[in-house]
A and B are shown apart, each in its own frame.
Chain A
Amino acid sequence: MSLMKIAGLVSSWALRKPATRLYPFVKRETFPHTRGHIEIDIAKCTFCTLCEKKCPTDAIAVDRAAKTWSIDRLRCISCNACVEACPRKCLSMANSYSPAMLEHGIQSFVQNAPAEK
């Protein structure tokens, strides 16, 4: 490789922006279709249990009597199967990934739950 070519390459790279980001100050933007994590609008849910049946990893549990919808975030593979199956469209796929957890827990949503004071 000639010296001229090397000089050209070096100067072109010196003028470009770096290929990496200064994480955590600059975060990577997600796309509108990114499969991040499942969100539920619990007020619209009819507890039909279709999402529970369609979930390939058994991450979702629906309790009709107690009107609870719960999800194990560490079992969920964000495959979108529950969102596609939901007849009331109360499930949706959010673009951000689930945050890191300190301990394994199940997140529950209760319909008509008394507001916390």
Chain B
Amino acid sequence: MSTAAETKPKRTIIPFGPQHPVLPEPIHLDLVLEDEKVVEVIPSIGFIHRGLEKLVEIKDFQEMTYVAERICGICSCIHGHSYCEAIENIMNIIVPERAKYLRVFWDELSRIHSHILWAGLFADSFGFESLFMHSWRIRERIIDIVEETTGGRVIFGYCKIGGTRRDIANDRLKSVVTELKAIEKECHSITEVFAKDYSVKKRTKGIGMLSKDDAVKLGAVGPMMRASGIASDARKLGYAAYGNLKWEPITESGCDCHARLMVRCREIYQAFDLAYQAADKMPDGPIETKVTGNPTGEFAARLEQPRGEVIYYVKGNGTKNLARFRVRTPTFANIPPLLKALEGCELPDVPVIVLTIDPCISCAER
């Protein structure tokens, strides 16, 4: 007669990260395996905590815009935008209409380049090297447009409290839209492969399942939530000019890695469309309002980054330095759903599933 200890498979713990070929940034996961199957995941974070939120004690509220932009390299422009939205709300600053549309335009360009970058990294995670290179080749053209219009390749630096720091001339805006339309056509060459290719489907379909109930219970955000069939998008709050544009959040019902991939692929085209709409409806006028005084009061701004919803909490006490500054980034919110999605998967699928939350650890740890 065999004992219980003999029938139960032996458990092995395999460390994943903080240095791993698929991870651009450090996160550590202890994978508890039974044979090749992951049964439990224990995360540990904190390898690149920089204490950026404490900088409010020495930097004034205007200078903090530059700090907020540098929380993350890829969604930097929406970080700056979120901070400005929060401060504008407590200071009751009315942002000019043109600045609102410019913000939407650049935010959507940032979403396109972030999603294409992610698509490349995702292809790389399952060994599709040529798809990775083609994705990044296309992304480079978006980056060129961004650099030409804002001055920065990665850190856009377009946002300031009360408006934007740069304007795009109407003629140039038209030619940028024409260029974007050409890039959009080229995007089909990669998204078609992601949607239809046999090997991509084989590595992503039915893997890393996160049910609708689990997504809600664990507080998933962004494409992770939308791939589980829930139309949750902070842009629907109507901040900046999103309230005046026609669009609906993109959802998929697959709940697996392929659904998350398809949500992001479809969001690339939605972002192109929103950028065209913003350029089309952009009114003439000033791009900034003068800011006087210091912030008093508190506000929590919610904005949609490429990775999901970000929450910026700011509290002013009437001095030039804020009393409190707190950022809840989408990657941080997506770690508990990730752990759930990893349970029950096979060891070779772990990198693919980790990549589907689009992990940005420097965001999560700030």
Point out the residue from B59, B66, B155, B166 that lies within 8 Å of A33, measured CB to CB: B166
Name the residue of chain A whose CB is nearest to the CB of B150: A33
- Asked if B165 and A33 sit within 8 Å, CB to CB, the answer is no
* Cβ-defined partner of A35 (8 Å) among B59, B66, B67, B151: B151
CB of A34 within 8 A of chain B?
A: yes
CA gap between A84 and B288 in the complex, in Å: 14
Report B142-173 CB contacts with A as 1/0, cut-off 8 Å.
00100111111001010000000110000000
Q: Contact check: which of A19, A33, A77, A81 meets B151 at CB < 8 Å?
A: A33
Complex-state Cα separation, A81 to B69, whole angstroms: 14
Closest chain B CB from A76 CB (angstroms): 12
**Chain B residues positioned under 8 Å from A25 (CB to CB):** none
Nearest A residue to B166 via CB reads: A33
Please give the distance in Å from A14's CB to the nearest CB on chain B.
15
Report if A80-B59 is in contact (Cβ < 8 Å); known contacts: A19-B137, A56-B67. Answer: no
B293 to chain A, nearest CB (A): 18
Find A34's partner among B67, B70, B147, B165 (CB 8 Å cutoff): B147
CA distance A19 to B140 in the complex (A): 10
Q: Does B36 contact A (CB under 8 A)?
A: no
B-facing residues in A64-79 (Cβ within 8 Å): 77-79
Q: How far apart are A81's CB and chain B's nearest CB, in angstroms?
A: 8
Bound CA–CA A81/B144 (angstroms)? 23
A60 to B39, CA, bound (A): 55
Chain A interface size range: 10 to 19
User: Interface 1/0s, chain A 19-37, versus B by CB < 8 A?
Assistant: 1000000000011011100
User: Quick check: A80 and B151 within 8 Å, CB to CB?
Assistant: yes
Q: A33-B166, A56-B63 are in contact. Are A80 and B157 (CB under 8 A)?
A: yes
**Chain B residue with Cβ nearest A35:** B151
Q: Collect the chain B residues with CB atoms within 8 Å of residue A34's CB.
A: 147, 151-152
* Complex alpha-carbon distance, A56 and B147, angstroms: 22
B66 touches A77 (CB 8 A): yes
Residue of B nearest to A28 (CB): B144
Chain B, Cβ-Cβ closest to A36 = B151
Chain A residue with the shortest CB-CB distance to B136: A19
Shortest CB–CB separation between residue B117 and chain A, in angstroms? 16
Closest to B67 in A: A56
User: A56-B63, A77-B66, A79-B66 are contacts. A33–B149 as well, Cβ < 8 Å?
Assistant: yes
Inter-chain contact A79/B147, CB cutoff 8 Å: no
Q: Bound complex: CA of A77 vs CA of B157, how far in Å?
A: 11
Q: Is the CB of A31 within 8 A of B66?
A: no
Pairwise interchain contact B148-A35, C-beta atoms closer than 8 A: no
In the bound complex, CA of A19 to CA of B150 (Å) = 23
Complex alpha-carbon distance, A34 and B296, angstroms:
35
What are some 6 contacts across the A-B interface (CB < 8 A)?
A19-B140, A31-B144, A33-B148, A33-B150, A34-B152, A35-B151
List the interface of chain B (C-beta within 8 A of A). Answer: 59, 63, 66-67, 70, 137, 140, 144, 147-152, 155, 157, 165-166
Closest 3 CB pairs of A and B: A56-B63, A33-B151, A31-B148
